């Protein structure tokens, strides 16, 4: 299409005819640039989160991860407003929001002031077995955040804060 358009422009100038504007083609170019921008952000967010999920539990830096999530959120808000109606945009935005919520919960789970009674109450509220989480978190330095977040998700956050605070 681009080649045809450039050929038409050359022919139109050759015969001194008005050159058409090709509004649809310009709109298509603009949308393709927006799509590429959204997918670039999706790729960056997912690759960053995958990298974080390979970090051992004891080495997680919640503050740094939270700052990175806030940066992602700001970058997404800067994108063209038309993209906000797209499922791809909404999906990556929800992914970032969920990660921010989960990071707060993970930060609290790493808190050394959590006692066994807190863990017991949390496990009862969420239905997750004690041995699955507590043993993994306390005794195993190789536990990955993705394993923990799979069990303690945002839907349990209110239960956690109720029992912890």
pLDDT in tens, 92-103: 999 999 889 888
| pLDDT on residue 126 | 65
Decide: 52 and 145 in contact? Cβ < 8 Å: yes
- pLDDT for residue 157 is more than 60: no
Taking the model in full, what pTM does it have? 0.69
pLDDT: is 63 or 136 the higher one? Answer: 63
* CA-wise closest residue to 101 among 127, 123, 73, 131: 73
What's the chain's average pLDDT? 77
pLDDT: is 147 or 1 the higher one? Answer: 1
- pLDDT for residue 151 is more than 60: no
pLDDT band per the 50, 70, 90 thresholds, residue 73: very high
pLDDT: is 98 or 21 the higher one? Answer: 98
Which residue matches tokens 């940066």?
71
| pLDDT on residue 65 | 92
Average pLDDT, integer, range 43-66: 87
SS3 assignment for 30-59 = HHHHHHHHHHHHHHHHHHHHHHHHCCCHHH
pLDDT: is 9 or 33 the higher one? Answer: 33
């Amino acid at each position: 299409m681009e080649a045809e358009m450039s050929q038409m422009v050359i022919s139109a100038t050759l015969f001194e005819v008005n050159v058409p504007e090709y509004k649809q083609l310009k709109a298509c170019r603009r949308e393709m640039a927006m799509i590429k921008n959204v997918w670039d952000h999706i790729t960056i967010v997912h690759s960053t989160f995958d990298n974080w999920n390979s970090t051992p539990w004891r080495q997680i830096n919640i503050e740094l991860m939270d700052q990175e999530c806030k940066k992602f959120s700001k970058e997404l808000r800067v994108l063209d407003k038309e993209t906000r109606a797209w499922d791809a945009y909404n999906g990556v935005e929800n992914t970032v929001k969920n990660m921010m919520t989960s990071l707060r919960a993970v930060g609290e789970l790493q808190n050394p002031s959590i006692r066994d009674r807190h863990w017991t109450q949390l496990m009862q509220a969420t239905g997750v077995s004690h041995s699955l989480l507590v043993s993994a978190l306390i005794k195993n330095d190789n536990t990955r955040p993705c394993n923990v977040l799979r069990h303690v998700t945002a839907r349990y956050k209110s239960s956690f804060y109720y029992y912890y605070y």
